[in-house]
């Protein structure tokens, strides 16, 4: 029914053919009140450490979609004085989940035209959601142009029972249309666009 | 049904009550103009009309073959381990949801904002079963605290001032909260976080159900939709049968139409696509997922002159632009849906007897037709409902009398000349026009206007004299 090839003319949720997906992605992240950085695999750990202040000790969960980078990031955060958990080990422990300060996740995809990161139920529904700060590592190869590309890829993402698009921090304008950032989801979303793949440096 | 404004009061009574609230008449236009400006800015370099046309095509083709797509949806849900329940009406839908909660041994329920659950009046039924029900959308939470009703499809407390919200939340806090939207939101976040963590069941609506993949799509900004479908051990989604989309890539058209027309956003913060309960190797998520497919009068519209109303994606845009809604707000419509879409859905779902006067609450300006992202001919539907009301004899006697005298007098040249001549002479007499304007049939109309004087010599006579 739809002609995805030409959809970009009609929908701002697609990229124009000449647009740089990475530049547009970071631009859109900023428009939805997210922050971002762009770095190489070698700089990744340093970038994440720099986003999480110490003291005090923060409660941090890491999800499995960080792949090979997870143990490296985890070790560095522990060395910096934080308490670090693998999300799948604490997911059923409501008290620990309730008191998380930061989650660091990977993602299955990211949508350039909307500044969205896409996580899956396979790595946990709550990982990107439950803490006030969410740091998401986006490998450059995972960035797709727009919603049409994402929907085409959706069945092959390995997302499990949920495909979750998230564009910036949570928000509400229910009270007299005043925009408030940070309701039930994170108040702060930091996107790290990785030029390279997440592997041990 | 505990309290039903639709049958207990008339539109005029409800509208008068709402018009007495000056805040409403500034809040609604302010809020809704904002969305419209954002929409224009977002689509400035794009062919919005082209996107609307695609959206309208997708919706009309889907609804034209609804049963096929529903069968596919049900099969795909089943393949994903989703338990599907069919509900012919509100009572059946409530019964399904109550039974699922009972079987799960549930005590606490969290809810995601959903017009379908409003439509079936779910909360009172669950509360009567002894369940603790918490609305988790900030606006709906305040509505629940105040025992109120949402007054807009996507902005439920558009009718409330910050001070009213502060008072409601202060009652929960047991102390005076500061007059600051950010502080108030922070308090609600902390209070509702406990509700999410302790809940046994999360109940949501469904913005769309994708037949190809068996997926429920939820569109939210606050994150409560994700929390309610991630933390509790049971997820129930109540979905109107018309919300089906055939394919995943239809979402690439429908999502920007919904969020653009609804809030002026390119995309909402969260778009959550749920295709089943927690998988075997997944770290979290509900053990059970149920979808209750709600008919409640929808299927009966197929093949009728009202079928197009099933294309609706509940974005609220027609409310935002409606000159009547902008003055009287959602509560004046007396049931769940307000504005032009409410004036169409209410008589269709609740019957002409109760909802038949709502299509009169329109100037037929067509602003709703122009804004509707799926091009529903709302003002045609309003006209058809007016005609049906007359055909069914549901219009009041006085209205029918005036209309038949009018039709008689205006349908032949000589009767028109005589009647208009007599009326014109009478109106020239000062006391006659004054009585007409104050006590006669024009009294309501003349409240905010002066009654115009007919010309001494009618136009047709002046023409024939020339």
Higher pLDDT among residues B166 and A200, named by residue: B166
- Please answer yes or no on whether B197 and A98 come within 8 Å at the CB atom: yes
Query: Which chain A residue has its CA at the smallest distance from B57's CA?
Result: A1
The interface predicted TM-score (ipTM) is 0.96
Among residues A28, A149, A12, A169, the alpha carbon closest in space to that of B257 is found at A12
Chosen domain end from B367, B395, B423? B395
Q: A31 to chain B nearest CA, in Å?
A: 10
From the centroid of its chain, how far is CA B56?
19
Average pLDDT over residues A187-191: 97
Q: By the CB < 8 Å criterion, does A106 face chain B? A: no
CA dist A66 → A25, A34, A89 (Å): 20, 20, 15
- A171 by DSSP, 3-state: which? strand
Average pLDDT over residues A86-102: 95
Clarify whether residues B95 and B180 are in a common domain. yes
Q: Are strands A171-172 and A59-62 parallel, antiparallel or unpaired?
A: unpaired
Clarify whether residues B176 and B117 are in a common domain. yes
Total number of domains in chain B: 3
Clarify whether residues B206 and B94 are in a common domain. yes
Q: By the CB < 8 Å criterion, does B291 face chain A? A: no
Residues 6+ apart with CB under 8 A from B312: B242, B341, B345, B374, B376
Higher pLDDT among residues B461 and B79, named by residue: B79
Check pLDDT > 80 for residue B40: yes
Among residues B165, B118, B120, B121, the alpha carbon closest in space to that of B139 is found at B165
Residues in a beta bridge with A166: A117, B270
Q: Which region, left, alpha or beta, applies to residue B396 given φ > 0 means left and ψ of -120 to 50 means alpha?
A: beta
Clarify whether residues B446 and B350 are in a common domain. no
Residues 6+ apart with CB under 8 A from B340: B318, B319, B322, B325, B362, B368, B378, B379, B382
Query: Which chain B residue has its CA at the smallest distance from A163's CA?
Result: B273
Clarify whether residues B103 and B233 are in a common domain. yes
Q: Which region, left, alpha or beta, applies to residue B276 given φ > 0 means left and ψ of -120 to 50 means alpha?
A: left
For A118-174, what is each residue's pLDDT tens digit?
999 999 999 999 999 999 999 999 999 999 999 999 999 999 999 999 999 999 988
Q: Which region, left, alpha or beta, applies to residue B175 given φ > 0 means left and ψ of -120 to 50 means alpha?
A: beta
Query: Which chain B residue has its CA at the smallest distance from A175's CA?
Result: B162
Clarify whether residues B293 and B201 are in a common domain. yes
Clarify whether residues B36 and B63 are in a common domain. no
Chosen domain end from B265, B299, B333? B299
HSE, side-chain direction, 13 A CA sphere, residue B47: 12
The verdict on residue B305 lying in a domain is no
The verdict on residue B199 lying in a domain is yes
> Where is B238: in which H helix or E strand?
strand B234-240
Residue A177 — pLDDT band, cuts 50, 70, 90? Answer: confident
Q: Are B130 and B124 in contact (CB under 8 A)?
A: no
CATH for the A18-164+187-195 domain, from 3.60.40.10, 3.40.50.300, 3.40.50.2300, 3.40.50.10420: 3.40.50.10420
Q: What does the block give as tokens for A72? A: 């490296």
What domain range includes position B198?
47-299
Residue B18: per-residue pLDDT? 92
Q: What does the block give as tokens for B391? A: 């055909």
Q: Are B10 and B18 in contact (CB under 8 A)?
A: no
Q: Are B269 and B220 in contact (CB under 8 A)?
A: yes
Q: B182 to chain A nearest CA, in Å?
A: 6
Rounded Cα–Cα distance for residues B207 and B115 (Å): 10
- B70 by DSSP, 3-state: which? helix
Q: B51 to chain A nearest CA, in Å?
A: 5
CA dist A122 → A61, B103, B385 (Å): 16, 27, 49
Q: Are B189 and A184 in contact (CB under 8 A)?
A: yes
Rounded Cα–Cα distance for residues B158 and B325 (Å): 12
Rounded Cα–Cα distance for residues B62 and B302 (Å): 12
Rounded Cα–Cα distance for residues B245 and B70 (Å): 9
The verdict on residue B309 lying in a domain is no
Look up tokens 């002066």; give the residue.
B450
Rounded Cα–Cα distance for residues A59 and A78 (Å): 10
- Please answer yes or no on whether A184 and B189 come within 8 Å at the CB atom: yes
Residues 6+ apart with CB under 8 A from B36: B264, B320, B321, B371
Q: Residue B177 has what DSSP assignment?
A: P
Q: Residue B386: how many CB atoms within 10 A of its CB?
A: 18
Residue B113: per-residue pLDDT? 93
Check pLDDT > 70 for residue B2: no
| % pLDDT > 90, chain A | 91
Clarify whether residues B231 and B89 are in a common domain. yes
Rounded Cα–Cα distance for residues A83 and A59 (Å): 5
Q: B27 to chain A nearest CA, in Å?
A: 7
Q: How far apart are the first and last CA of chain A?
A: 46
Average pLDDT over residues B168-185: 94
The verdict on residue B311 lying in a domain is no
Rounded Cα–Cα distance for residues A150 and B300 (Å): 36
Q: Reduce the secondary structure of B310-333 to three states and give it as a string.
A: HHCCCCCHHHHHCCCHHHHCCHHH
Of A91, A161, A172, the CB nearest to B138: A172
Q: Are strands A116-120 and B201-204 parallel, antiparallel or unpaired?
A: unpaired
Q: Where are the alpha helices (DSSP H) in B43-161?
A: 48-64, 66-79, 90-103, 115-119, 122-128, 138-145
B 186-225 near A (Cβ less than 8 A)? 186, 188-189, 192-193, 196-197, 213, 215, 221-224
Rounded Cα–Cα distance for residues B185 and A187 (Å): 12
Rounded Cα–Cα distance for residues B286 and A160 (Å): 13
Rounded Cα–Cα distance for residues B231 and B111 (Å): 12
Q: By the CB < 8 Å criterion, does A156 face chain B? A: no
A 71-90 near B (Cβ less than 8 A)? 87-88
Q: By the CB < 8 Å criterion, does A18 face chain B? A: no
pLDDT, chain A, mean: 94
B126-135, B310-319, B414-423: segment of lowest average pLDDT: B414-423
Look up tokens 């909402």; give the residue.
B268
Q: Are B153 and B115 in contact (CB under 8 A)?
A: yes
Helices (H) and strands (E) in chain B, counts: 23, 10
Look up tokens 């809604």; give the residue.
B325
Among residues B253, B270, B211, B249, the alpha carbon closest in space to that of B373 is found at B253
Clarify whether residues B64 and B206 are in a common domain. yes
Clarify whether residues B216 and B80 are in a common domain. yes
User: ∠ CA(B4), CA(B344), CA(A174), 5° rounding?
Assistant: 65
Q: How far apart are the first and last CA of chain B?
A: 66
pLDDT, chain B, mean: 92
| % pLDDT > 70, chain B | 99
Look up tokens 């009567």; give the residue.
B128
Residues 6+ apart with CB under 8 A from B247: A1, B210, B211, B212
CATH classification at residue B179:
3.40.50.10420
> Where is B163: in which H helix or E strand?
helix B162-173
Chosen domain end from B267, B299, B331? B299
Clarify whether residues B432 and B410 are in a common domain. yes
- B202 by DSSP, 3-state: which? strand
Residue B426: per-residue pLDDT? 84
Q: What does the block give as tokens for A166? A: 């998230």
Check pLDDT > 60 for residue A3: no
Q: Are B272 and A162 in contact (CB under 8 A)?
A: yes
Of B230, B281, B282, the CB nearest to A129: B230
Clarify whether residues B94 and B214 are in a common domain. yes
For B80-125, what is each residue's pLDDT tens digit?
999 999 999 999 999 999 999 999 999 999 999 999 999 999 999 9
Q: A100 to chain B nearest CA, in Å?
A: 13
For B190-243, what is each residue's pLDDT tens digit?
999 999 999 999 999 999 999 999 999 999 999 999 999 999 999 999 999 999
Residue A109: per-residue pLDDT? 97
Higher pLDDT among residues B399 and A88, named by residue: A88
Residue A201: per-residue pLDDT? 36
Rounded Cα–Cα distance for residues B156 and B158 (Å): 6
Q: Are A184 and B136 in contact (CB under 8 A)?
A: yes
Among residues B288, B289, B287, B307, the alpha carbon closest in space to that of B297 is found at B307
Q: What does the block give as tokens for B243? A: 């919300």
């Amino acid at each position: 029914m739809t002609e995805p090839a030409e959809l970009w003319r009609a929908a701002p949720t697609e990229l124009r053919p000449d647009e740089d997906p990475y530049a547009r992605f970071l631009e859109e992240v900023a428009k939805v009140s997210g922050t971002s950085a762009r770095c190489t695999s070698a700089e990744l750990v340093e970038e994440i450490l720099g986003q999480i202040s110490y003291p005090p000790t923060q409660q941090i969960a890491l999800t499995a979609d960080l792949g090979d980078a997870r143990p490296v990031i985890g070790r560095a955060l522990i060395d910096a004085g934080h308490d670090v958990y693998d999300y799948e080990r604490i997911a059923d422990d409501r008290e620990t989940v309730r008191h998380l300060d930061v989650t660091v996740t990977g993602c299955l995809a990211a949508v350039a035209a909307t500044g969205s990161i896409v996580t899956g139920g396979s790595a946990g529904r709550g990982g990107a959601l439950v803490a006030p700060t969410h740091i998401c590592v986006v490998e450059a190869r995972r960035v797709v142009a727009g919603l049409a590309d994402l929907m085409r890829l959706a069945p092959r993402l390995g997302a499990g029972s949920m495909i979750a698009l998230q564009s910036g921090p949570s928000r509400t304008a229910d009270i007299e249309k005043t925009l408030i950032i940070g309701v039930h989801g994170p108040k702060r979303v930091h996107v790290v666009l990785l030029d390279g793949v997440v592997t041990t440096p | 049904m505990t309290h039903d404004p639709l049958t207990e009061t008339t539109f005029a009574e409800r509208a008068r009550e709402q018009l007495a609230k000056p805040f409403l008449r500034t809040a609604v236009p302010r809020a809704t103009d904002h969305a419209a400006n954002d929409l224009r800015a977002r689509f400035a370099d794009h062919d919005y009309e082209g996107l609307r046309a695609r959206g309208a095509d997708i919706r009309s083709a889907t609804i034209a073959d609804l049963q096929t797509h529903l069968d596919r949806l049900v099969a795909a849900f089943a393949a994903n381990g989703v338990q599907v329940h069919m509900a012919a009406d509100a009572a059946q839908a409530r019964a399904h949801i109550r039974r699922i909660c009972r079987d799960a041994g549930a005590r606490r329920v969290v809810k995601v904002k959903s017009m379908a659950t409003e439509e079936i009046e779910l909360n009172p039924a669950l509360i009567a079963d002894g369940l603790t029900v918490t609305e988790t959308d900030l606006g709906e939470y305040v509505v629940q605290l105040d025992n109120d009703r949402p007054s807009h499809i996507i902005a439920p407390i558009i009718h409330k001032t910050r001070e009213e919200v502060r008072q409601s939340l202060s009652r929960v806090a047991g102390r005076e909260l500061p007059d600051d939207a950010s502080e108030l939101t922070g308090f609600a976040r902390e209070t509702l976080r406990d509700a999410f963590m302790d809940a046994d069941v999360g109940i949501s609506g469904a913005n769309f159900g994708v037949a190809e993949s068996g997926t429920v799509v939820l569109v939210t900004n606050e994150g409560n939709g994700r929390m309610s479908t991630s933390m509790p051990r049971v997820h129930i989604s109540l979905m109107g049968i018309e919300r089906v989309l055939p394919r995943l890539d239809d979402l690439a058209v429908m999502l920007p139409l919904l969020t653009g027309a609804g809030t002026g956003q390119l995309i909402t913060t969260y778009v959550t696509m749920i295709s089943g309960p927690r998988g075997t190797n997944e770290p979290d998520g509900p053990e059970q997922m149920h979808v209750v497919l709600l008919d409640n009068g929808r299927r009966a519209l197929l093949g009728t002159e009202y079928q197009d109303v099933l294309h609706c994606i509940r974005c609220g845009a027609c409310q935002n632009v409606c000159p009547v809604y902008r003055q009287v707000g959602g509560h004046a419509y007396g049931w769940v849906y307000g504005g032009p879409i409410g004036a169409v859905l209410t008589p269709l779902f609740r019957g002409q007897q109760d909802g038949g006067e709502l299509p009169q609450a329109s100037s037929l300006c067509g602003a709703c037709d122009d804004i509707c992202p799926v091009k529903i001919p709302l003002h045609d539907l309003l006209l058809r409902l007016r005609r049906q009301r007359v055909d069914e004899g549901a219009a009041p006697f006085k209205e029918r009398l005036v209309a038949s005298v009018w039709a008689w007098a205006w349908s032949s040249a000589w009767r028109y000349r005589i009647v208009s001549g007599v009326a014109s002479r009478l109106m020239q007499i000062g006391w006659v026009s004054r009585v007409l304007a104050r006590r006669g049939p024009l009294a309501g109309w003349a409240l905010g206007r002066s009654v115009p004087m007919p010309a001494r010599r009618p136009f047709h006579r002046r023409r024939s004299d020339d």
